[in-house]
Amino acid sequence: MTILPWRCVAKLDPERYHSDHLLQIVVHSPFDAIILGGTSGVTRENATDLALALRRRRVRIPVWQEISDGQAVAFGVDGYLVPVVLNATDIDYLARGHIQALRYYREQISWNHLLALGYIVMHGDCAVGQKTKAEIPRDFYDVLALAEYGVKLCGLKALYIEYSGRLGDDDLVARLRALLPSVQVFYGGGISSYDQLDRFLSVASTVVVGNALYTNPYGVFDVATPKMV
């Protein structure tokens, strides 16, 4: 069962600069949703500013924030994704930060607009791997154990296979999804062309495009370019 009906998602980092041109491309490309998220430097102000900048450009798809800091929750978004980093060895990113946030914000939380993501960080050369001190899976069975811990023991409904900055293993994603067919499996990492997007769309429930939007915004959806004038 898919929890959020998104196949292809743009991830924008509130800490980065967004030109009008880039926002127009994102708003007019055939993404199903936009996630606002970054590992560091996200504040309530810059995330809210980015949400409002998208609204001003009449974005017609959902805009959700992926919360990386309980102090930096944006206004003006449609919902919130909450990463639970299953292979974090820093307990703050597995549980402690979430519990502290619930202690202070529980009465303000709209549970119908919130989805917890069981993150599995797949390599250590990325900000999220370093920040959370992630213990990197050695093989598919490490990934499966993390996924089953999240899904079967903790009841998570969505997983995020995070290869940030690096193109991942589509066969691993396919094997995982085949064993956990009721889970929404997000894939993110290194997508910079339509062919790569297409390949991962065939194995993941939802594919996230991040950095390529900043470096080569027409690369992924070159087919959409004519619509963007």
Q: Of 164, 159, 151, whose CA–CA distance to 204 is shortest?
A: 159
Residue number, 210 or 217, with CB nearest to ligand 1GP: 210
Considering the rule CB under 6 A, would residue 203 count as an interface residue with ligand 1GP?
no
Residue number, 109 or 169, with CB nearest to ligand 1GP: 169
> Which of 73, 74, 86, 209 forms a contact with ligand 1GP (CB under 6 A)?
209
Nearest position to ligand 1GP, beta carbon: 188
Across-strand partners of 159? Answer: 118, 185
Residue number, 76 or 165, with CB nearest to ligand 1GP: 165
Considering the rule CB under 6 A, would residue 177 count as an interface residue with ligand 1GP?
no
Place of tokens 């004519």: 226
Tokens of 198: 């297409």
Considering the rule CB under 6 A, would residue 191 count as an interface residue with ligand 1GP?
yes
Distances (CA, A) of 169 to 36, 53, 55, 98, 213: 25, 34, 35, 30, 21
Distance between CA atoms of 182 and 77, rounded to whole angstroms?
A: 27
Cβ of residue 104: shortest distance to ligand 1GP, in angstroms?
A: 26
Distance between CA atoms of 16 and 47, rounded to whole angstroms?
A: 10
Considering the rule CB under 6 A, would residue 217 count as an interface residue with ligand 1GP?
no
Distances (CA, A) of 16 to 11, 21, 94: 12, 14, 26
20 alpha carbon, distance to own chain's centre:
23
Q: Which of residues 140-169 bind ligand 1GP (CB under 6 A)?
A: 162, 164-165
> Which of 11, 27, 132, 159 forms a contact with ligand 1GP (CB under 6 A)?
11
Considering the rule CB under 6 A, would residue 188 count as an interface residue with ligand 1GP?
yes
- Please give the radius of gyration of the chain, using alpha carbons only, rounded to the nearest integer: 17
Total number of residues shown for the chain? 229
Cβ of residue 107: shortest distance to ligand 1GP, in angstroms?
A: 30
> Which of 109, 211, 219, 224 forms a contact with ligand 1GP (CB under 6 A)?
211
Considering the rule CB under 6 A, would residue 210 count as an interface residue with ligand 1GP?
yes
Binding site for ligand 1GP (CB under 6 A): 11, 162, 164-165, 188-191, 208-212
